[in-house]
Protein backbone atom coordinates (compact mmCIF):
# COMPACT_ATOMS: atom_id res chain seq x y z
CA UNK A 1 0.00 0.00 0.00
CA UNK A 2 2.87 2.36 0.85
CA UNK A 3 4.48 1.52 -2.46
CA UNK A 4 1.26 2.41 -4.33
CA UNK A 5 1.05 5.77 -2.54
CA UNK A 6 4.66 6.47 -3.35
CA UNK A 7 4.09 5.58 -7.03
CA UNK A 8 1.05 7.87 -7.20
CA UNK A 9 3.04 10.68 -5.63
CA UNK A 10 5.80 10.21 -8.19
CA UNK A 11 3.27 10.32 -11.06
CA UNK A 12 1.75 13.56 -9.69
CA UNK A 13 5.18 15.13 -9.40
CA UNK A 14 6.08 14.12 -12.97
CA UNK A 15 2.85 15.65 -14.31
CA UNK A 16 3.60 18.86 -12.41
CA UNK A 17 7.12 19.03 -13.82
CA UNK A 18 5.94 18.39 -17.38
CA UNK A 19 3.36 21.16 -17.00
CA UNK A 20 5.93 23.57 -15.64
CA UNK A 21 8.42 23.02 -18.44
CA UNK A 22 5.71 23.11 -21.10
CA UNK A 23 4.84 26.64 -19.95
CA UNK A 24 8.39 27.85 -20.52
CA UNK A 25 8.47 30.17 -23.52
CA UNK A 26 4.67 30.47 -23.67
CA UNK A 27 4.50 33.34 -21.19
CA UNK A 28 5.85 36.40 -22.96
CA UNK A 29 8.75 38.29 -21.41
CA UNK A 30 7.40 41.85 -21.39
CA UNK A 31 10.83 43.19 -20.47
CA UNK A 32 12.00 42.31 -23.98
CA UNK A 33 9.29 44.33 -25.66
CA UNK A 34 10.48 47.47 -27.41
CA UNK A 35 8.82 50.66 -26.36
CA UNK A 36 7.36 52.47 -29.35
CA UNK A 37 7.28 56.24 -29.15
CA UNK A 38 5.85 58.64 -31.66
CA UNK A 39 8.41 60.88 -33.34
CA UNK A 40 7.68 64.55 -33.86
CA UNK A 41 6.96 65.60 -37.41
CA UNK A 42 9.78 67.71 -38.77
CA UNK A 43 10.25 69.80 -41.90
CA UNK A 44 13.00 68.43 -44.08
CA UNK A 45 15.65 70.76 -45.41
CA UNK A 46 14.61 72.49 -48.60
CA UNK A 47 17.47 72.03 -51.04
CA UNK A 48 15.88 73.90 -53.94
CA UNK A 49 16.55 77.48 -54.99
CA UNK A 50 13.18 78.79 -53.73
CA UNK A 51 12.63 78.68 -50.02
CA UNK A 52 9.47 79.57 -48.13
CA UNK A 53 8.45 79.21 -44.50
CA UNK A 54 5.71 80.22 -42.09
CA UNK A 55 3.84 83.25 -43.45
CA UNK A 56 3.00 84.63 -40.00
CA UNK A 57 4.54 88.03 -39.33
CA UNK A 58 6.01 88.84 -35.93
CA UNK A 59 6.82 92.45 -35.11
CA UNK A 60 9.70 93.66 -32.95
CA UNK A 61 7.62 96.68 -31.97
CA UNK A 62 5.26 99.31 -33.31
CA UNK A 63 5.98 100.24 -36.93
CA UNK A 64 7.30 103.77 -37.38
CA UNK A 65 5.38 105.42 -40.30
CA UNK A 66 8.39 107.64 -40.97
CA UNK A 67 10.69 104.65 -41.56
CA UNK A 68 8.41 101.98 -43.03
CA UNK A 69 8.68 101.84 -46.84
CA UNK A 70 5.48 100.75 -48.60
CA UNK A 71 5.36 98.50 -51.65
CA UNK A 72 3.22 96.07 -53.69
CA UNK A 73 1.07 93.89 -51.42
CA UNK A 74 0.75 96.25 -48.45
CA UNK A 75 -2.87 96.70 -47.38
CA UNK A 76 -4.30 100.02 -46.17
CA UNK A 77 -7.60 100.66 -44.44
CA UNK A 78 -9.20 103.76 -46.01
CA UNK A 79 -12.13 105.71 -44.57
CA UNK A 80 -13.45 109.00 -46.01
CA UNK A 81 -16.38 111.03 -44.71
CA UNK A 82 -17.68 113.74 -47.06
CA UNK A 83 -20.91 115.48 -48.02
CA UNK A 84 -21.52 112.62 -50.44
CA UNK A 85 -21.45 110.04 -47.62
CA UNK A 86 -19.04 107.59 -46.06
CA UNK A 87 -16.58 105.52 -48.09
CA UNK A 88 -14.70 102.60 -46.48
CA UNK A 89 -12.22 100.65 -48.60
CA UNK A 90 -9.45 98.10 -48.24
CA UNK A 91 -6.67 99.37 -50.47
CA UNK A 92 -3.97 96.99 -51.72
CA UNK A 93 -0.91 98.41 -53.41
CA UNK A 94 -0.75 96.88 -56.88
CA UNK A 95 2.30 95.14 -58.40
CA UNK A 96 3.01 98.42 -60.22
CA UNK A 97 3.12 100.33 -56.93
CA UNK A 98 -0.24 102.09 -57.21
CA UNK A 99 -3.55 102.23 -55.38
CA UNK A 100 -6.91 102.91 -56.97
CA UNK A 101 -9.61 104.96 -55.23
CA UNK A 102 -12.90 105.31 -57.13
CA UNK A 103 -13.54 108.87 -58.38
CA UNK A 104 -10.18 110.01 -56.95
CA UNK A 105 -8.12 107.92 -59.38
CA UNK A 106 -4.77 106.08 -59.40
CA UNK A 107 -2.09 107.17 -56.93
CA UNK A 108 1.56 106.00 -57.18
CA UNK A 109 3.02 105.28 -53.74
CA UNK A 110 5.74 102.64 -54.32
CA UNK A 111 8.89 103.01 -52.18
CA UNK A 112 7.50 105.98 -50.26
CA UNK A 113 7.58 106.02 -46.48
CA UNK A 114 4.20 105.18 -44.98
CA UNK A 115 3.92 108.70 -43.60
CA UNK A 116 4.57 110.30 -47.01
CA UNK A 117 2.27 107.83 -48.81
CA UNK A 118 -0.64 108.65 -46.47
CA UNK A 119 -0.10 112.39 -46.98
CA UNK A 120 -0.06 111.91 -50.78
CA UNK A 121 -3.30 109.90 -50.70
CA UNK A 122 -5.02 112.48 -48.50
CA UNK A 123 -3.88 115.33 -50.75
CA UNK A 124 -5.32 113.63 -53.86
CA UNK A 125 -8.62 112.95 -52.08
CA UNK A 126 -8.95 116.53 -50.79
CA UNK A 127 -8.54 117.81 -54.34
CA UNK A 128 -11.84 116.06 -55.13
CA UNK A 129 -13.54 116.43 -51.73
CA UNK A 130 -12.09 119.51 -50.09
CA UNK A 131 -14.13 119.20 -46.90
CA UNK A 132 -13.67 115.44 -46.45
CA UNK A 133 -12.33 113.82 -43.30
CA UNK A 134 -9.91 111.04 -44.20
CA UNK A 135 -8.41 108.25 -42.06
CA UNK A 136 -5.81 105.82 -43.40
CA UNK A 137 -3.88 103.09 -41.57
CA UNK A 138 -1.63 100.17 -42.48
CA UNK A 139 -3.36 96.90 -41.56
CA UNK A 140 -1.33 94.17 -43.27
CA UNK A 141 2.29 93.84 -44.38
CA UNK A 142 3.31 92.57 -47.79
CA UNK A 143 5.57 89.62 -48.54
CA UNK A 144 8.15 89.51 -51.29
CA UNK A 145 11.13 87.54 -52.55
CA UNK A 146 14.76 88.37 -51.98
CA UNK A 147 17.86 86.67 -53.37
CA UNK A 148 20.74 85.44 -51.23
CA UNK A 149 23.86 83.88 -52.74
CA UNK A 150 27.37 82.89 -51.80
CA UNK A 151 28.58 81.11 -48.68
CA UNK A 152 25.29 79.84 -47.22
CA UNK A 153 23.93 76.29 -47.04
CA UNK A 154 21.05 76.78 -49.50
CA UNK A 155 21.46 79.89 -51.67
CA UNK A 156 18.38 81.01 -53.58
CA UNK A 157 15.24 83.10 -53.16
CA UNK A 158 13.54 83.56 -49.80
CA UNK A 159 10.04 84.80 -48.99
CA UNK A 160 10.28 87.59 -46.41
CA UNK A 161 8.38 90.65 -45.18
CA UNK A 162 9.59 94.23 -44.62
CA UNK A 163 10.40 93.60 -40.95
CA UNK A 164 12.51 90.45 -41.59
CA UNK A 165 16.18 90.85 -40.75
CA UNK A 166 19.37 89.36 -42.12
CA UNK A 167 19.50 86.82 -39.28
CA UNK A 168 16.01 85.55 -40.16
CA UNK A 169 17.09 85.00 -43.76
CA UNK A 170 20.31 83.23 -42.74
CA UNK A 171 18.28 80.84 -40.55
CA UNK A 172 15.90 80.06 -43.42
CA UNK A 173 18.73 79.16 -45.82
CA UNK A 174 20.31 76.77 -43.31
CA UNK A 175 23.02 78.99 -41.86
CA UNK A 176 26.44 80.07 -43.08
CA UNK A 177 28.89 77.89 -44.98
CA UNK A 178 31.93 77.11 -42.81
CA UNK A 179 34.10 79.31 -45.08
CA UNK A 180 31.72 82.29 -44.98
CA UNK A 181 33.06 85.78 -44.27
CA UNK A 182 30.28 86.63 -41.84
CA UNK A 183 31.95 89.96 -41.12
CA UNK A 184 31.87 91.25 -44.73
CA UNK A 185 28.38 90.63 -46.15
CA UNK A 186 27.44 92.62 -49.25
CA UNK A 187 23.93 94.03 -49.73
CA UNK A 188 23.12 95.50 -53.13
CA UNK A 189 19.99 97.60 -53.69
CA UNK A 190 17.86 97.65 -56.86
CA UNK A 191 19.71 100.81 -57.94
CA UNK A 192 23.08 99.03 -57.73
CA UNK A 193 24.23 100.76 -54.56
CA UNK A 194 26.28 98.47 -52.30
CA UNK A 195 26.74 98.45 -48.55
CA UNK A 196 28.53 96.03 -46.24
CA UNK A 197 27.59 94.67 -42.83
CA UNK A 198 29.54 92.81 -40.15
CA UNK A 199 27.00 90.27 -38.91
CA UNK A 200 29.34 89.09 -36.13
CA UNK A 201 28.90 92.48 -34.43
CA UNK A 202 25.21 91.72 -34.10
CA UNK A 203 25.85 88.21 -32.78
CA UNK A 204 28.37 89.40 -30.18
CA UNK A 205 27.14 92.90 -29.33
CA UNK A 206 23.51 92.97 -30.53
CA UNK A 207 24.14 95.80 -33.02
CA UNK A 208 20.93 95.99 -35.10
CA UNK A 209 22.64 98.09 -37.76
CA UNK A 210 24.62 94.96 -38.62
CA UNK A 211 21.40 92.91 -38.88
CA UNK A 212 19.40 95.04 -41.34
CA UNK A 213 15.93 94.82 -42.88
CA UNK A 214 15.26 94.74 -46.62
CA UNK A 215 13.00 95.96 -49.41
CA UNK A 216 12.21 94.61 -52.88
CA UNK A 217 15.18 94.43 -55.21
CA UNK A 218 17.82 93.99 -52.51
CA UNK A 219 20.35 91.21 -53.05
CA UNK A 220 22.51 89.59 -50.38
CA UNK A 221 25.93 88.12 -51.12
CA UNK A 222 27.97 86.28 -48.48
CA UNK A 223 31.57 86.00 -49.73
CA UNK A 224 33.79 82.96 -49.26
CA UNK A 225 36.97 83.44 -47.27
CA UNK A 226 40.41 82.30 -48.35
CA UNK A 227 41.71 79.46 -46.17
CA UNK A 228 45.35 80.48 -46.55
CA UNK A 229 44.73 84.12 -45.70
CA UNK A 230 42.09 83.82 -42.97
CA UNK A 231 41.42 80.15 -42.24
CA UNK A 232 41.70 78.29 -38.94
CA UNK A 233 40.94 74.68 -38.02
CA UNK A 234 38.58 73.72 -35.19
CA UNK A 235 38.87 70.26 -33.62
CA UNK A 236 37.78 68.31 -30.57
CA UNK A 237 34.64 68.30 -28.43
CA UNK A 238 32.58 70.79 -30.45
CA UNK A 239 29.86 70.68 -33.08
CA UNK A 240 30.81 71.95 -36.52
CA UNK A 241 34.42 70.83 -36.64
CA UNK A 242 36.58 71.86 -39.57
CA UNK A 243 37.59 75.16 -41.12
CA UNK A 244 36.41 78.62 -40.15
CA UNK A 245 37.22 82.09 -41.43
CA UNK A 246 38.33 84.73 -38.93
CA UNK A 247 38.63 88.49 -39.26
CA UNK A 248 41.75 90.49 -38.46
CA UNK A 249 42.18 90.95 -34.71
CA UNK A 250 39.55 88.37 -33.73
CA UNK A 251 40.07 86.91 -30.27
CA UNK A 252 39.39 83.44 -28.94
CA UNK A 253 36.59 84.96 -26.84
CA UNK A 254 34.92 86.37 -29.99
CA UNK A 255 35.20 83.00 -31.70
CA UNK A 256 33.57 81.23 -28.75
CA UNK A 257 30.71 83.75 -28.71
CA UNK A 258 29.87 83.76 -32.42
CA UNK A 259 30.72 80.26 -33.57
CA UNK A 260 31.47 77.53 -31.07
CA UNK A 261 28.79 75.09 -29.90
CA UNK A 262 30.38 72.85 -27.29
CA UNK A 263 29.68 69.16 -26.90
CA UNK A 264 28.30 68.04 -23.54
CA UNK A 265 31.66 66.55 -22.57
CA UNK A 266 33.80 69.55 -23.60
CA UNK A 267 36.39 70.89 -21.18
CA UNK A 268 37.29 74.56 -21.78
CA UNK A 269 39.45 74.97 -18.70
CA UNK A 270 42.37 74.81 -21.13
CA UNK A 271 42.13 75.24 -24.91
CA UNK A 272 45.13 74.29 -27.06
CA UNK A 273 46.22 76.42 -30.01
CA UNK A 274 48.82 74.94 -32.34
CA UNK A 275 50.56 77.72 -34.26
CA UNK A 276 53.36 77.47 -36.81
CA UNK A 277 56.07 80.14 -36.82
CA UNK A 278 58.91 79.82 -39.34
CA UNK A 279 58.30 76.07 -39.76
CA UNK A 280 58.36 75.62 -35.97
CA UNK A 281 55.14 74.43 -34.33
CA UNK A 282 54.23 76.02 -31.04
CA UNK A 283 51.48 74.75 -28.72
CA UNK A 284 49.80 77.46 -26.67
CA UNK A 285 47.67 76.52 -23.66
CA UNK A 286 44.94 79.14 -23.18
CA UNK A 287 43.01 79.40 -19.91
CA UNK A 288 39.63 81.20 -19.64
CA UNK A 289 41.12 84.32 -18.03
CA UNK A 290 43.05 85.15 -21.22
CA UNK A 291 40.41 84.15 -23.82
CA UNK A 292 39.60 87.81 -24.50
CA UNK A 293 43.24 88.82 -24.98
CA UNK A 294 44.30 85.86 -27.14
CA UNK A 295 44.29 87.06 -30.75
CA UNK A 296 43.86 84.33 -33.36
CA UNK A 297 46.00 84.07 -36.48
CA UNK A 298 45.40 82.40 -39.86
CA UNK A 299 46.58 78.80 -39.79
CA UNK A 300 45.86 78.28 -36.09
CA UNK A 301 44.65 74.82 -35.09
CA UNK A 302 42.35 75.07 -32.08
CA UNK A 303 41.68 71.94 -30.02
CA UNK A 304 38.82 71.65 -27.53
CA UNK A 305 39.60 68.72 -25.24
CA UNK A 306 37.06 66.26 -23.89
CA UNK A 307 36.25 66.18 -20.23
CA UNK A 308 37.07 62.78 -18.70
CA UNK A 309 33.78 60.96 -18.33
CA UNK A 310 32.69 58.34 -15.80
CA UNK A 311 32.15 54.84 -17.21
CA UNK A 312 29.34 52.72 -15.75
CA UNK A 313 29.37 49.06 -16.83
CA UNK A 314 28.17 45.67 -15.70
CA UNK A 315 24.65 44.75 -14.68
CA UNK A 316 22.96 48.15 -15.12
CA UNK A 317 20.14 49.06 -17.47
CA UNK A 318 21.99 51.65 -19.56
CA UNK A 319 25.77 51.12 -19.40
CA UNK A 320 27.98 53.79 -20.96
CA UNK A 321 29.80 57.11 -20.51
CA UNK A 322 28.35 59.77 -18.21
CA UNK A 323 29.34 63.34 -17.49
CA UNK A 324 31.39 63.80 -14.34
CA UNK A 325 29.58 65.68 -11.57
CA UNK A 326 31.66 66.65 -8.52
CA UNK A 327 30.46 65.06 -5.28
CA UNK A 328 28.40 62.31 -6.90
CA UNK A 329 28.71 58.86 -5.33
CA UNK A 330 28.61 55.44 -6.96
CA UNK A 331 24.91 55.07 -6.13
CA UNK A 332 24.19 58.32 -8.00
CA UNK A 333 25.87 57.09 -11.17
CA UNK A 334 24.07 53.74 -10.98
CA UNK A 335 20.82 55.71 -10.83
CA UNK A 336 21.86 57.82 -13.82
CA UNK A 337 22.55 54.58 -15.70
CA UNK A 338 18.94 53.51 -15.13
CA UNK A 339 19.58 51.49 -11.99
CA UNK A 340 20.83 47.96 -11.62
CA UNK A 341 19.26 45.00 -13.37
CA UNK A 342 17.35 42.39 -11.37
CA UNK A 343 20.44 40.20 -11.42
CA UNK A 344 22.83 43.07 -10.62
CA UNK A 345 24.26 43.64 -7.13
CA UNK A 346 24.58 47.43 -6.77
CA UNK A 347 25.73 47.13 -3.16
CA UNK A 348 28.93 45.50 -4.34
CA UNK A 349 29.70 47.98 -7.13
CA UNK A 350 33.44 48.19 -7.78
CA UNK A 351 35.04 51.59 -8.47
CA UNK A 352 38.30 51.59 -10.44
CA UNK A 353 40.01 54.96 -9.87
CA UNK A 354 42.35 56.54 -12.41
CA UNK A 355 45.23 56.38 -9.92
CA UNK A 356 45.00 52.57 -9.91
CA UNK A 357 43.22 52.13 -6.57
CA UNK A 358 40.02 50.08 -6.27
CA UNK A 359 37.10 50.56 -3.88
CA UNK A 360 33.79 48.77 -3.35
CA UNK A 361 30.46 50.20 -2.24
CA UNK A 362 27.65 52.55 -3.22
CA UNK A 363 28.81 55.31 -0.88
CA UNK A 364 32.20 55.77 -2.54
CA UNK A 365 32.73 59.25 -4.01
CA UNK A 366 33.45 58.99 -7.73
CA UNK A 367 36.33 60.94 -9.30
CA UNK A 368 36.72 62.21 -12.86
CA UNK A 369 37.61 59.34 -15.22
CA UNK A 370 36.63 56.52 -12.81
CA UNK A 371 35.04 53.29 -14.02
CA UNK A 372 32.18 51.60 -12.13
CA UNK A 373 31.30 47.93 -12.55
CA UNK A 374 28.11 46.49 -11.05
CA UNK A 375 28.60 42.70 -10.54
CA UNK A 376 26.10 39.90 -10.91
CA UNK A 377 24.33 38.64 -7.78
CA UNK A 378 25.47 35.30 -6.33
CA UNK A 379 22.02 33.77 -6.75
CA UNK A 380 21.99 34.81 -10.40
CA UNK A 381 25.45 33.33 -10.91
CA UNK A 382 24.29 30.02 -9.42
CA UNK A 383 20.82 29.68 -10.96
CA UNK A 384 21.28 31.79 -14.09
CA UNK A 385 18.03 33.05 -15.64
CA UNK A 386 15.74 30.37 -14.19
CA UNK A 387 12.31 31.67 -13.28
CA UNK A 388 10.75 30.94 -9.90
CA UNK A 389 8.57 28.22 -11.46
CA UNK A 390 11.59 26.62 -13.09
CA UNK A 391 13.51 26.82 -9.82
CA UNK A 392 10.70 25.05 -7.94
CA UNK A 393 10.56 22.44 -10.69
CA UNK A 394 14.27 21.82 -10.35
CA UNK A 395 13.91 21.30 -6.60
CA UNK A 396 11.06 18.83 -7.13
CA UNK A 397 13.14 16.98 -9.70
CA UNK A 398 15.89 16.53 -7.15
CA UNK A 399 13.30 15.39 -4.60
CA UNK A 400 11.81 12.82 -7.00
CA UNK A 401 15.25 11.53 -7.79
CA UNK A 402 15.80 11.11 -4.07
CA UNK A 403 12.51 9.23 -3.66
CA UNK A 404 13.28 7.00 -6.60
CA UNK A 405 16.69 6.20 -5.18
CA UNK A 406 15.10 5.34 -1.82
CA UNK A 407 12.60 3.03 -3.47
DSSP for 192-216 reads S-EEEE-HHHHHHH--GGGS-B--T
Q: Is the pLDDT of residue 4 over 90?
A: no
Same domain, 352 and 316: yes
Strands 231-236 and 301-306, how do they pair?
parallel
pLDDT band at 31 (very low <50, low <70, confident <90, very high): very low
| pLDDT (average), residues 241-268 | 92
Within-domain flag for 400: no
pLDDT band at 289 (very low <50, low <70, confident <90, very high): very high
Q: For position 273, which CATH number holds?
A: 3.10.560.10
Same domain, 91 and 127: yes
What pLDDT score was predicted for residue 30? 40
What pLDDT score was predicted for residue 324? 86
Within-domain flag for 122: yes
The helix (H) or strand (E) run that includes residue 383 is helix 378-383
Counting every residue, how long is the chain?
Answer: 407
Sequence-ordered strand ranges (E) for 307-387: 310-314, 320-322, 350-352, 358-360, 371-374
Same domain, 254 and 280: yes
Within-domain flag for 252: yes
| pLDDT (average), residues 75-84 | 93
Q: How far apart are CA 358 and CA 370, in angstroms?
A: 10
Q: Is the pLDDT of residue 51 over 60?
A: no
Within-domain flag for 210: yes
Q: Is the pLDDT of residue 306 over 90?
A: no
Within-domain flag for 12: no
| pLDDT (average), residues 192-207 | 96
Last residue of a domain, one of 258, 286, 306: 306
What pLDDT score was predicted for residue 323? 83
Within-domain flag for 347: yes
Radius of gyration of the chain (CA): 37
Q: Is the pLDDT of residue 38 over 50?
A: no
The domain of 316 spans 310-376
Last residue of a domain, one of 306, 338, 359: 306
Count of domains forming the chain? 4
Q: Which residues pair with 213 in a beta bridge?
A: 165
Report the percent of the chain where pLDDT is more than 90: 62
Sequence-ordered strand ranges (E) for 278-325: 280-286, 301-306, 310-314, 320-322
Within-domain flag for 363: yes
Q: Is the pLDDT of residue 13 over 70?
A: no
Q: Which of 48-52, 104-108, 189-193, 218-222 shows the lowest per-residue confidence on average (mean pLDDT)?
A: 48-52
| pLDDT (average), residues 327-356 | 92
Report the percent of the chain where pLDDT is more than 70: 79
The residue among 66, 87, 64, 91 whose CA lies nearest residue 77 is: 91
The per-residue pLDDT of the chain, averaged, comes to 84
Same domain, 317 and 280: no
Last residue of a domain, one of 222, 257, 285: 222
Q: Is the pLDDT of residue 58 over 90?
A: no
The residue among 137, 168, 203 whose CA lies nearest residue 57 is: 168
| pLDDT (average), residues 252-256 | 95
Q: Is the pLDDT of residue 292 over 70?
A: yes
pLDDT one-digit tens code per residue, 163-186: 999 999 999 999 999 999 999 999
| pLDDT (average), residues 42-55 | 40
Q: For position 135, which CATH number holds?
A: 3.30.1950
Q: Is 166 left (phi over 0), alpha (psi -120 to 50) or beta?
A: alpha
What pLDDT score was predicted for residue 325? 86
Cβ neighbours of residue 210 closer than 8 Å, sequence gap 6 or more: 197, 198, 199, 200, 201, 202
Half-sphere exposure of 30 (CA within 13 A, CB side): 0
The helix (H) or strand (E) run that includes residue 403 is helix 388-406
CA 112 from chain centre, in angstroms, equals 40
Distances (CA, A) of 304 to 158, 238, 246, 268, 321: 36, 7, 17, 7, 18
What pLDDT score was predicted for residue 36? 35
Same domain, 133 and 160: no
Same domain, 328 and 268: no
Within-domain flag for 276: yes
Number of Cβ within a 10 Å radius of residue 216 = 19
| pLDDT (average), residues 221-240 | 94
Cβ neighbours of residue 101 closer than 8 Å, sequence gap 6 or more: 78, 89, 91, 107, 121, 124, 125
Same domain, 324 and 296: no
Same domain, 260 and 292: yes
What pLDDT score was predicted for residue 37? 39
What pLDDT score was predicted for residue 224? 98
**∠ Cα 264 268 271 (to 5°):** 130
How deeply is 60 buried, as exposed, middle or buried, from its count of CB atoms within 10 A (0-12, 13-18, 19+)?
exposed
The residue among 234, 311, 232 whose CA lies nearest residue 268 is: 234
pLDDT band at 234 (very low <50, low <70, confident <90, very high): very high
What pLDDT score was predicted for residue 48? 37
Amino acid sequence: MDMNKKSKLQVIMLVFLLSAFSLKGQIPDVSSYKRITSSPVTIENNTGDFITRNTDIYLEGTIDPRKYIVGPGDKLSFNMISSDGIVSLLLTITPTGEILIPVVGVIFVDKLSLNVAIKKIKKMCLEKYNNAKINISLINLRRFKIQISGAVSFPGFVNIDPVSRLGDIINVVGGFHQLAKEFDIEIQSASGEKRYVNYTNFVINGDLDENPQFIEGDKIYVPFGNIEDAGIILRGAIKGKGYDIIQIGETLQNLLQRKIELEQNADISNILITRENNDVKEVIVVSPKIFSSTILKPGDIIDFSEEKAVMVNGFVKVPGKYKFSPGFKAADYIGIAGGNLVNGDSKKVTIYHTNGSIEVGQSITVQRGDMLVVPQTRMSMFFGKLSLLELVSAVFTIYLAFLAAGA
